[in-house]
Amino acid sequence: MTRKKVHAEKQAGINELAKTSTGIPGLDEVTLGGLPTGRPTLICGGPGCGKTLFALEFIVRGVELYNEPGVFIAFEEKPEELAINVASLGFDLEKLQQEKKIKVDYIHVDKTEIEETGEYDLEGLFIRLGYAIDSIGAKRVVLDTIENLFLGLMNEGILRAELRRLFTWLKDKGVTVIITGERGEKTLTRQGLEEYVSDCVILLDHRIINQISTRRLRVVKYRGTLHGTNEYPFLIDEEGISVLPVTSLRLDKPVSTNIVSSGIDELNNMLGKGGFYKGSSVLVSGTAGTGKTSIAASFIKHACENGERSLYFAFEESPMQIIRNMHSIGIDLKKYQDAGLLEFYASRPTLYGLEMHLVAIHKAIKKFRPDVVVLDPITNLITVGSVSDVKSMLVRLIDFLQSEQITVMFTALAMNTIVNDQTDEGVSSLVDAWIQIKDIEMNGERNRGLYVIKSRGMRHSNQIREFVIKDTGLNLIDVYLGPEGVLTGSAREAQKLLEETGHLLHSHAISRKDRELIRKRKVLEARIESLKTEFESTEEELNKVYFEEEIKKDAEAVTRQKITDLRKGVKLKTEENKKTTKEK
Amino acid sequence: MKEKYELRLYVAGKTQKSVTALSNLKKYCEEHMHGEYSIEVIDLLVHPQLAEGDQILAIPTLVKKVPEPVRKIIGDLSNEEKVLVGLDIRRRKIS
């Protein structure tokens, strides 16, 4: 029945090789679908590189995810030992065996017990295998490590012929097989198993650079299909293996025009569009103690208050430390942590290699699904890798975050050494926005100056702001630009005071002038008044003369008339005149 | 008192090797331990589940369960010397 199904599958996809998903995160992406169905795959590597676990996870995931029963033939470890070894990964072998989903068969080959004489074959192994496969209808088979046969059996000629027959037989059975093999000195496996397994070969590696080990995986060969050819780091943790297909990168990620606030209003203003673009990457760099973590914390605070999920990768401080320290600037991260909006992921950079960090970060992000991610600080990673390593890791991380539309903030410690300047530069070309905090040293004190060095796609400010950390939060203040240049901190305050004093003096001087003016006006007005009076009296005088003259003229006219009248002797007229005066 | 030899011969069908092994075994047993042995022939094609118990890989395999220690002799048993050493018969005779 098993065979028929596989045949059907093969016929359905004539052009394409049928593949069996391993269920190991990342590996199916590297192999573009999984291992070749119905064919053997060789997994080789040095001791302790995870071959057995790899194979076992293939079986367990097959049951859990794809409902494909599997047979695990162990040549090295007893079933009980295996069960204990993988129990820590959450695989319950006992239970799966009872459910007839998995069959673990232990084949023990002890040279001391065996005497060889004459011709033989390995039909016994075939029968056992066939029996195990048929008893649970297995589709997946693991032989771990078949090379052990070479230790127990002397006749290599027979063994090799039988192995060749075994693989043909397994192909005919239509089961997908993983064969593990110890790495040899010049060949992929000690016994040259790669000769027999020609369809797919995966090499596991466990390399130690700078005392830090990194596990890597490479698909050496995969007949009949495309596959990723690079070395991919992989991680073994409490959930099994995860492979990171890190370098399958293209520049075709979706972009967003949505804005994510930085959490500091003044900084938003400086950025031009009121924040960062969603899914962009932000670098906050600065020397020690300039408040990089504080910026990151206020970024997180804002995100959490808007109900967005945040993930904080701490490479320097423990979560407790960060929470305590951020209390001092009025940010209560604990609250968000309790609400499930914020999660910390703290690890020492030296815990494992860069690639492993990347895998771990990937895993954490995939699990928590945050909207906002903070890495604090990335410069600490340099302790485990070179500058270029860190850069290539960050490229891949940024790329991944971009594709997931997650906004990321990196903090980077800048020291005044050439190497770290380069780091800054190296990373800064990758990020979308770069905020730098610089110490401005003046008059025996240090103050923080904040620059927005770049912000792609925005008209950002070219101004320096003074970055002030108070117990109520972060603030940006316009720096003082005076005749003496840029002033910050107490110098700025002093200058302000100085200006205020000047202002006071100035206004005082002005008011004095004003008063004087008023006084002068008063004096002048008084003088005008007196001149006016003088003029009036002169006028009066002049008028008096004029009047007198008039009166005189009138009187003279009257007198002259009287005289004229007298001369004419008209009395009547005089009497008449008297009468009129009386009537009046 | 001597322990009786309990021998099991695992075969898979009637192949040439199996037949040779069985006839060789019978010959040695008759020569070296008459009446002190029992031979059980197990055909794995009929009872595949039995292969697990004695950790059988190669066919044919001769397993000596008793007396201890357990020994396995694989192959068609064509080398008499090796078979006798394997069954602890030769050594006991020397000593």
Please report, for chain A, the start and end positions of each structural domain, with discontinuous segments joined by +: 2-243, 259-478, 493-574
Res. A527 pLDDT band, cuts 50 70 90:
very high
- Residue A373 pLDDT level (bands cut at 50, 70, 90): very high
What mean pLDDT do residues A110-128 have?
83
Indicate if the pLDDT at residue A420 is higher than 50: no
Whether CATH 3.30.200.20 fits B5-94: no
For chain B, say whether A120 makes contact (Cβ under 8 Å).
yes
Note whether A141 and A176 are within 8 A (CB).
yes
Q: Does residue B41 register a pLDDT over 80?
A: yes
Residue of A76, A231, A266, A317 marked catalytic: A76
Residue with the larger pLDDT of the pair A16 and A223: A223
pLDDT attached to residue A2: 43
Contact between A408 and A278 under an 8 Å Cβ cutoff? The reply is: no
Which pLDDT belongs to residue B93?
Answer: 47
**Which of B20, B43, B74, B88 best probes binding to A when mutated, by most A CB atoms within 10 angstroms?**
B74
Cβ–Cβ contact A457 with B under 8 A: no
Choosing among A106, A114, A123, A149, which should be mutated to test the B contact, i.e. which has the most B CBs within 10 A? A123
Determine contact, residues A433/A411, Cβ cutoff 8 Å.
Answer: no
Across the interface, which of A117, A125, A128 has its CB nearest the CB of B73?
Answer: A117
Cα–Cα distance list, A62 to A74, A96, A141 (Å): 18, 12, 10
- How far is the alpha carbon of B44 from chain A, nearest alpha carbon, in Å? 7
Chain A touched by B6 (CB under 8 Å):
no
β pairing state of A176-182 and A40-45 = parallel
- Tell me which residues of chain B, numbers 13 to 42, contact chain A at a CB-CB cutoff of 8 Å: 15, 17, 20-21
Write down the pLDDT at residue A581: 61
Taking the Cβ of residue B72 and every Cβ of chain A, the question of whether any pair is shorter than 8 Å is answered with yes
Backbone angles phi, psi at A341, to 5 degrees: -90, -25
Q: Where are the domains of chain B?
A: 5-94
Is A76 among the residues known to form the active site?
A: yes
Structure pTM? 0.67
* Exposed/middle/buried for residue B26 (C-beta within 10 Å: 0-12, 13-18, 19+): middle
Which burial class, exposed, middle or buried, applies to A453 when counting CB atoms under 10 A from its CB (0-12, 13-18, 19+)? middle
State mean pLDDT over A411-420.
Answer: 62
Residue A570: C-alpha distances to residues A95, A349, A555, A564, A576 (Å): 170, 147, 20, 10, 10
Q: Using 50, 70 and 90 to split pLDDT, how confident is the model at A287?
A: confident
What is the predicted pLDDT for the residue at A51? 87
Best A78, A115, A146, A169 residue to mutate vs chain B (most B CBs within 10 Å)? A115
Q: Give the whole-number percent of chain A exceeding pLDDT 90.
A: 10
Which of the two residues, A8 and A455, has the higher pLDDT score? A455
- Closest by CA to A394, choosing from A367, A420, A355, is A355
pLDDT for A480 equals 72
Query: What does the block give as tokens for A327?
Result: 């209390």
Give the torsion through C-alpha atoms of A222, A226, A230, A235, to 10 deg. -70
Smallest Cα distance from B57 to chain A, Å: 4
Reduced to 3 states (helix: H, G, I; strand: E, B; else coil), residue A137 is coil
Per-residue pLDDT for A269 more than 80?
yes
- The residues with which A112 forms a beta bridge, in sequence order, are none
Q: Is the pLDDT of residue B43 over 50?
A: yes
Task: Evaluate if residue A232 carries a pLDDT over 50.
Answer: yes
Question: CA-CA distances (angstroms) from residue A187 to A48, A314, B27?
Answer: 18, 42, 46
Q: Chain A residues with CB inside 8 Å of B76's CB?
A: 117-120
What pLDDT was estimated at residue A457? 85
From B49, B74, B82, residue closest to A120, measured CB to CB? B74
Chain A residues in contact with B71 (beta carbon < 8 A): 113-115
A489, A466 contact by CB (below 8 A): yes
CB A323 within 8 A of CB A337: yes
Name the average pLDDT for chain A: 82
Q: How many CA atoms lie within 13 A of A379 on its CB side?
A: 21
Closest CB from A109, A117, A127 relative to B51:
A127
CATH T-level fold of A2-243 = Rossmann fold (3.40.50)
Q: At what angle do helices A79-87 and A51-66 cross, to 10 degrees?
A: 80
* Residue A529 confidence (pLDDT): 93
What single-letter amino acid sits at B25? L
pLDDT, one tens digit per residue, over A45-104 is 888 888 888 898 899 889 988 999 999 998 888 888 888 888 877 888 888 888 888 988
Opening angle at CA A212, ends A209 and A217, nearest 5: 75
Is the pLDDT reported for residue A417 higher than 50? Answer: no
Distance in angstroms (rounded) separating the CA atoms of residues A469 and A2: 69
CB B3 within 8 A of CB B37: no
Q: Is the pLDDT of residue A315 over 80?
A: yes
A316 carries an active-site annotation: yes
CB-neighbour burial class of residue A284 (10 A; exposed 0-12, middle 13-18, buried 19+): buried
pLDDT digits (tens, 9 = 90+) for A470-501: 888 788 887 777 666 677 777 778 878 888 88
CA nearest to A125 within chain B: B57
Report the pLDDT value the prediction gives residue A8, as an integer from 0 to 100. Answer: 44
Inspect the interface and report whether the beta carbons of B57 and A105 lie closer than 8 Å.
no
Contact in structure between A69 and A130 (CB atoms under 8 Å): no
Contact call for residues A419 and A439 (beta carbons, < 8 A): no
Condensed to tens digits (0 to 9), the pLDDT of residues A555-571 reads 888 988 888 888 876 55
Picking from A245-259, A466-480, A526-540, A570-584, which range would have the lowest pLDDT averaged per residue? A570-584
Q: B44 in contact with A at a CB cutoff of 8 Å?
A: yes
Tell me which CATH code domain A259-478 carries. 3.40.50.300
CA distance A216 to A226: 19
